[in-house]
Amino acid sequence: MTDLSIGIVGCGGRMGRTLLRQVTQTDGCTLAGGTEIDGHHAIGIDLGLLAGLEEPLNLVASADRQSLFETSDVIIDFTVPDTTALLAALAAETKTAHIVGTTGLDEDQMRVVTDAARRTVVVQAPNFSIGVNLLAALTRQVAQVLDPQFDIEILEIHHRHKVDAPSGTALALGHAAAEGRGVSLDNVADRARDGVTGARKVGNIGFASLRGGNVVGDHTVIFAADDERIELTHRAGDRTIFARGAVHAALWTQGKAPGYYTMTDVLGF
């Protein structure tokens, strides 16, 4: 079987460089190339150097997304919402599978992504870590078992450079908890507390976001009742766990029909 050809957009960023390295170290796939925005300092640099490898790959970062999509079986995208919407349209045009790890997309941007899934394979997840996806499954199960007298709070902390809050993973955990209780997160989410807020409303799902240092990402789901508390926690020590999951998802797309998929589909939970 021919190796799967994978392209990386945003290859000059922290996650992009990690993805470059992961693709080169994973059996069954090969690196097609990588792109960055016009004027980015990574343009023209060998992808092996960007990935921190000992040897060059004789592939350089470019700004030509069209060519990357046309020469790749799969594109992995951990960029920003505006860019992801543009890339989703390009994926649909070129019939290139699209792995989407970007968070913070609004309704219009999400619509572009889901529309693209009519013409190609799209796998989207707020977090590609296998451990985090297991945490979401456990959160759903625990929320289903416990009654609303157990208050649910979701705490997350990320590095100082993260631009969206709560994190996409925290929101995914919130949706999992809401699904377990048979409610819509939109109706019970409490995403901001400041000043005199009054007593906590029974049944709400609260969020707290912390930012600082170089924390890759910690998430804790707290179920708190009188005199007892259950806490489910996942701590990410390195971005490699996200890259490993994204490349696993890319390999999974082989032979799949066009459609919108999540890590639940990939992992078979």
pLDDT in tens, 99-128: 999 988 999 999 999 999 999 999 999 889
Residue of 41, 95, 161, 162 with catalytic role:
162
- 133-156: b (≥16 Cβ within 10 Å) or e: bebbebbbebbeebeeebbbbbbb
Q: CATH number of the domain that 78 lies in?
A: 3.40.50.720
Q: For 53-59, what is the mean pLDDT? A: 95
**Domain that includes residue 104, residue range:** 4-124+239-267
The answer to whether the pTM exceeds 0.85 is no
Q: Which of 158, 175, 219, 248 is catalytic?
A: 158
pLDDT of residue 1: 67
- Same domain for 38 and 113? yes
Number of domain units in the chain: 2
The DSSP code for 213 is T
* Biggest CA-to-CA distance, the chain: 63
143 and 14: one domain?
no
158 given a catalytic annotation: yes
Per DSSP, 194 falls in state -
What does the pLDDT read at residue 180? 98
Tokens 């343009």 map to which residue? Answer: 43
Contact 218, 89 (CB under 8 A): no
% of residues, the chain, pLDDT over 70: 100
Q: Do the beta carbons of residue 225 and residue 153 sit within 8 Å?
A: no
Q: Rounded CA gap, 190 and 188, in Å?
A: 7
